[in-house]
Amino acid sequence: MENEINTTEVLTARGVELFYGETRAVRNAEISLRRGEVAAITGQSGSGKSSLLYCLAGVLPVARGEVCFEGRSLGALDDEELSTIRRERFGFVFQYGELLPELTVEENTALPLRLAGQRKAEAHAAAGDVLGRLGLADLRDRRPSQVSGGQSQRVAVARALVHRPAVVFADEPTGSLDSANATTVLEEFLALARAQGTAVVLVTHDAQVAARADTRYTMRDGMLAAQVREAS
């Protein structure tokens, strides 16, 4: 019997369009993500990658089409339902980690659990566990200003995964790092996501990074196309 978990569609988009005024940033986008799948989206600057990510994550409402998470259309949810999904079922990583400077590494990592109402002791235990898996246990009491760029992106990864979300949206998550560091952080990120069954939508301009995904898409002038895997 097939493993149901791995064949279930967790996120689907059909005919998605997004405009900024007259600019049509996303055109008729179709994408489908299974549980635990890593999908990479590459494309030039300005091609609409970030805009598509915002649509998929329910951050921006779509002008046309539909995004469904676990079978529920995001457009049909009220603000509270949508923000609960974003907070508890989604995780986010951006190019510059965007950690809160006044919180420690461990507090930053525990934040999604605290926002979901988990008690401090449990939230910090879970944060410590993820930080340990990413080799960051010794840094837990530091502030973001006291860690390196690569370390701070690892903390951002830890924070995105700590609540075991269904989907992590990562927009150029290693774009601020040198290529050796970028490769390591990305490998750790994807290994941890795969281990806990978290699907990832990974926006990157780096073909080597994209090569580590299960499925690849390219974006051009707002149009998303599945990239055919080359026979080798």
Ligand X SMILES: Nc1ncnc2c1ncn2[C@@H]1O[C@H](COP(=O)(O)OP(=O)(O)O)[C@@H](O)[C@H]1O
**Rounded to an integer, what distance in angstroms lies between the CA atom of residue 160 and that of residue 119?**
18
Work out whether 42 is an interface residue with ligand X (CB under 6 A).
no
Work out whether 133 is an interface residue with ligand X (CB under 6 A).
no
For residue 172, what are the CA distances in angstroms to 31, 37, 202? Answer: 19, 18, 7
**Closest distance to ligand X from the beta carbon of 224 (Å):** 11
**Closest distance to Mg ion from the beta carbon of 187 (Å):** 22
Contacted by 146, from Mg ion, ligand X, none: CB < 5 to 8 Å by type = none
**Rounded to an integer, what distance in angstroms lies between the CA atom of residue 58 and that of residue 80?**
12
Burial class (CB in 10 A: 0-12, 13-18, 19+), 26: buried
Work out whether 50 is an interface residue with Mg ion (CB under 5 A).
yes
Binding mask 66-85 for Mg ion (x = CB under 5 A): --------------------
Contacted by 23, from ligand X, Mg ion, none: CB < 5 to 8 Å by type = ligand X
Half-sphere CA count of 4, side-chain side, radius 13 A: 0
Backbone angles phi, psi at 162, to 5 degrees: -60, -30
Q: In the beta sheet, which residues pair with residue 215? A: 39
Contacted by 36, from ligand X, Mg ion, none: CB < 5 to 8 Å by type = none
**Closest distance to ligand X from the beta carbon of 24 (Å):** 9
Work out whether 42 is an interface residue with Mg ion (CB under 5 A).
no
User: What are the residues binding ligand X (CB under 6 A)?
Assistant: 20, 23, 25, 43, 45-51
User: What are the residues binding Mg ion (CB under 5 A)?
Assistant: 50
